[in-house]
Chains A and B, each alone.
Chain A
Amino acid sequence: MQLTTTSNDNLPLRVGAFETLVEGLDYAARGATGFNFFSERGKPSLSLTYREIRERALDLALRFSASRLGRGARVAMIAETRPEFMVAFFACQYAGLVPVPLPLSVNLGGREAYVTRLAAMMKRAHVSAAITSDDLFPMLDEAAGQVGVDCVGTYEDFAALSYAGGEIRPLGKEDPAYIQFSSGSTSLPRGVMVSQRSIMANARGIGQHGLQLRAGDRATSWLPLYHDMGLVGFCLTPAMAQISVDYLATTTFARRPLLWLQTLSERGGTIAFAPTFGYELCLRRAAKVEPGQFDLSRWRVAGIGGEMVRASVLEAFSERFADCGFDGKAFLPSYGLAESTLAISFSRLGEGVKTDTVDLEAAAKRDLALPLHGQGTSQRARTFVRCGTPLPEHRVEIRDTQGRVLPERRIGRVYITGPSLMEGYFRDTAATKKAMPEAGWLDTGDLGYMAEGELVITGRSKDLIIIGGRNIWPQDLEWAVETLDRVRAGDVAAFGVSDGDEGERVVLVVECRLKDASERMLLRREIAAIVQRSSGVACDVVLTRPNTLTFTSSGKLSRAAAKADYLSERISDLDSDAEQEAAYALAVGAE
């Protein structure tokens, strides 16, 4: 099978210098680059040049507009890594419609939770139509039924609609581009309204400044297209820069992570990104990799984003794959979030991971990032990764709780501004106001400091749990557990605790009134199971006495307090030794 070429011979590279996605795709369609899809076993399965994507998108756009979808209407589509998704996404651009990429779920037994999630997103985005592949149609159809969306079909269904009377009416530079759901909980999803202006600003910043895309670059990606890193970083930015991409499905990567390195090696990839855990998965499967089995010497940008960058994992990766030609200098730590389309800052190309080691106590007690230059003991030190300087036209400020701007090396909330910023969440003024308390500035909710003009992230927003690169909102886990018969609303607190370089572990503290130990055992299993089903994560279940959890004055559960109590062992399990002894002492005393 013929893959798309790496460079266009007769078309000058033009990186992101367009006003709309349509203008950028029209330009890319004049060359021979495009997208390539690989099977679960890593074999090329399909290639589409940007020209072919444009032709198919134009055809589908006529059918969309002929089917009475008004200009600006939202069209939901499950963002599987397959050409039909890209075609439908761009068809919306040509038809003046706003695509709404939806996630793909893979949890064992998680069908019901997934359908509920799809329904909540479609409702939030007020979609007029929903589209997906044959495989996923039954679930999307069920979700659409729950929220009264009747225009639901497969890609084939939509491709078979009549185009009579349809017209091409592209989204213009003042129009929206798409809605990105990667923020907010499952039950109350928040759709980031990405405008043409912000996507083009971000694609330009990433392509021209962050990655400095050049002729000969080729991207390799397994990142899900329903996340900003996959969609913006490895679909829209490459398209706006006429770069070819080789895709593996996310599920393929999860099953066979080394196919990522193999594909990059065989196809001459120069650019690939992953959260730290992606590099970690490769390492875990690397036992049988032989020296020279992959050629990773052309990999000039090995980006890291999406969760806190863990330096030790990356170091282990570059040591392990050095004999395959991997150069640790290719690592490119970055920072961003969906609310700023994707990227905010990149470290400098070719410098690898730069860390900043600070005094732990000064950081924890005085919000001061005091650098330690090797003389401190490891006990009192904490090492963070530098995430580079903001993109041109973008600014970062570190502010204290009163909103005052802090100087270098003071830890505070990370605020950002610039042309990539969203205007707000789609039809959600309350959430928008909270995230953007001041016009033009976004409170990222993350904590960090500036060091020599570089951004260093020290912690994510306090309640968010990140497991294997996925954001997990504690309230989703709590609500799932509260649906169990023997658990009451308000009895549950979910939080993540750091296991150092192992990443995070989920803890569920549940107040329990069951006297019988075997009943408690059963409840533990039910809790673990429902957490698995709803979110696909394992958790530690702590059953504790009633009235253990702390609530704020406004009646909101304080997860921070629950976590602190758990870490300091003020919360203990009913079946732990200490509790058993206390109960025994009570029983003996009572007799």
Chain B
Amino acid sequence: MSDTEQTVYDTVCELLQRYNREGRELRPETDLNAELNIDSVAAMDLIMEIEDKFDIDIPINLVGDLRTVKDLVATVRSQQEGA
């Protein structure tokens, strides 16, 4: 991982801790649904926090493709570049 990617990854993991009720170890492959059990209301909260933290917008059409921590990081990076 490059420096920025690592920073984004760390920040995303930090934001995810609130949803990580079972205290699982977070990896890039961690599945947001299967392992963290984030429901649709919590998903909205999470996305809002990420948007606020990174000052980006995550359009609704991208949400359906977000399965893992890695996907979140990649989306943050691509939205940052697009901004």
Chain A residues in contact with chain B, CB under 8 A? 40, 104-112, 114, 135-136, 138-139, 251, 254-256, 281, 468, 525-526, 528-530, 532-533, 536-538
Contacts and interface: CB of A to CB of B under 8 A. Distances in A.
B39 A106 contact: no
A109 B31 CA distance: 9
B64 A528 contact: no
Given A40-B57, A135-B61, A108 B45 contact: no
Interface in B28-59: 31-35, 37-41, 43-45, 47-48, 57, 59
B32 A108 contact: yes
Given A528-B34, A532-B38, A107 B43 contact: yes
A107 B48 contact: no
Nearest to B48: A255
Interface of B: 31-35, 37-41, 43-45, 47-48, 57, 59-61, 63-67
Contact of B45 (A107, A114, A255): A255
A135 B60 contact: yes
A109 B61 contact: no
Nearest to A254: B44
Contacts of B41: 254, 281, 468
A468 B39 CA distance: 11
A112 B33 CA distance: 14
B43 A108 contact: yes
B66 to A, nearest CB: 5
A112 B35 CA distance: 19
Contacts of A139: 61, 64
Nearest to B67: A109
6 contacts: A108-B32, A109-B67, A135-B59, A135-B61, A139-B61, A468-B41
A537 B40 contact: yes
Contacts of B65: 109, 111
Contacts of B47: 255
Contact of A532 (B37, B45, B60, B63): B37
A529 B57 contact: no
Contacts of B43: 106-108, 536
Residue in A109, A528, A538 whose Cβ sees the most chain B Cβ within 10 Å: A109
A136 B61 contact: yes
Residue in A108, A135, A256 whose Cβ sees the most chain B Cβ within 10 Å: A108
Contact of B40 (A111, A468, A525): A468
Given A106-B40, A108-B43, A526 B61 contact: no
B34 A138 contact: no
Nearest to A534: B33
Contact of B33 (A105, A136, A138, A533): A533
A109 B66 contact: yes
Contact of B44 (A104, A136, A251, A537): A251
B60 A536 contact: no
Residue in B35, B43, B57 whose Cβ sees the most chain A Cβ within 10 Å: B43
Given A108-B63, A254-B44, A526-B34, 5 more contacts: A104-B60, A251-B60, A529-B34, A529-B37, A532-B39
A112 B67 CA distance: 12
B37 A528 contact: yes
B69 to A, nearest CB: 12
A281 B44 CA distance: 12
Given A254-B41, A468-B40, A468-B41, A106 B60 contact: yes
A108 B33 contact: yes
B14 to A, nearest CB: 18
Nearest to B31: A529
Contacts of B57: 40
A467 to B, nearest CB: 9
Nearest to A281: B41
A528 B33 contact: yes
| A-B residue pairs, 9 tightest by C-beta | A529-B34, A111-B64, A536-B40, A109-B67, A532-B33, A529-B33, A538-B39, A255-B48, A135-B61
B73 to A, nearest CB: 14
Contacts of A525: 34-35
Contacts of B35: 525, 529
Contacts of A255: 44-45, 47-48
A104 B40 CA distance: 13
Contacts of B34: 525-526, 528-529, 532
B72 to A, nearest CB: 9
